[in-house]
Structure 1
Amino acid sequence: MYSRIIVAVDLEQIEQGRALLTRAASLLDAGGEIRLLHVLEEVPGYIAAELPSDISDRRRAEAAVELRAMIDPQDDLRVAHEVRHGAASGQIIQAAEDSGADLIMIASHKPGLRDYFIGSTAARVIRHAKCSVLVER
């Protein structure tokens, strides 16, 4: 069905990420690739000034370890992982464009009041992605 799938993972919701990965495997064409993606939001400058200078590198390394742990080496799948920095929706869309993905999979939570004013990540991805988007609740 799909040859390149981006699975956007929020590492604070790791079980949803695992469920998305399982579902992606069932939708993947033979010889296709799944790319697990986690986006680290930028820390505001006034907070970053108080943090250790290598905090960004440590956060990236920790996220990469968690993504790798999601990949079962016994599975006969091509699964890569990537950690990006920036606004989640923009980075997810950019990763899909960079890799030529034909599907983005993302989990959604029950919207709260905050989401009605600024919109959720999933909603922004749906509005702006150039490929299909599957949202899992």
Structure 2
Amino acid sequence: MYSKILLAVDLNDTSGAARIAEYGGKLARMCGAEVHVVSVVPAMGFALVGSAFGGDFAGTMMEETRTNMHKWIDEVLGIEAHVHVDQGTVYDKIIRTAEDIGAEAIVVGAHRPELRDYLVGPNAARVVRHAKQSVLVVR
């Protein structure tokens, strides 16, 4: 069915990440698919904001995220996976990563919708609307 699956994980949402591991892992095992996991570090925005953190804060965040992703894969996902860490707009980076690796399916988590989500649209909704791949949204 799918030979490559991308799991989009927010490590700050431990329960959501666990659900993505559960459903994404089952789908990958069922298909015998290669698994890729992406986590996106939000961009710092204006140079003034980024400079307030000093040094190579963005680089440090990326490296810490990569380390935490490997730990999450070992402890929660429990299957072999390729790690991708990027910085920028979350939904855009998820879609670009899926395109770059040739994924046929993306697994994303979604929070319970709030009023602002209907007006602005959460990252999961944007991935669903713009991705060329099949998208599994896990609640």
Q: TM-score, normalised by structure 2?
A: 0.89
Match for 1:72 among 71, 74, 82? 74
Residue 12 of structure 2 aligns to which amino acid in structure 1? E
Q: In the aligned structure 2, how far is the partner of 1:131 from the partner of 1:50? A: 38
Shift of 1:77: 3.6
Q: CA RMSD in A?
A: 1.7
Aligned to 2:11: 11
Partner-residue secondary structure (3-state), 2:13: helix
Q: TM-score, normalised by structure 1?
A: 0.90
Residue 116 of structure 1 aligns to which amino acid in structure 2? Y
Give the ranges of 4+ consecutive aligned residues of structure 1 lying more than 2 Å apart after TM superposition. 75-78
Aligned to 2:104: 102
Aligned to 1:120: 122
Shift of 1:76: 7.8
Match for 1:60 among 62, 66, 73? 62
Q: In the aligned structure 2, how far is the partner of 1:14 from the partner of 1:102? A: 25
Structure with the larger helix share = 2
Identical columns (%): 33
Q: In the aligned structure 1, how far is the partner of 2:14 from the partner of 2:73? A: 12
Q: Specify whether residues 38 and 76 from structure 1 end up closer, same or farther in structure 2 by C-alpha distance, changes over 3 A only.
A: closer
Q: In the aligned structure 2, how far is the partner of 1:113 from the partner of 1:34? A: 34
Contact persistence 1:18–1:70 (CA under 8 A):
no
Aligned to 2:20: 20
Aligned to 1:43: 44
**Structure 1 residue ranges without an equivalent (≥5):** none
Contact persistence 2:23–2:138 (CA under 8 A):
no
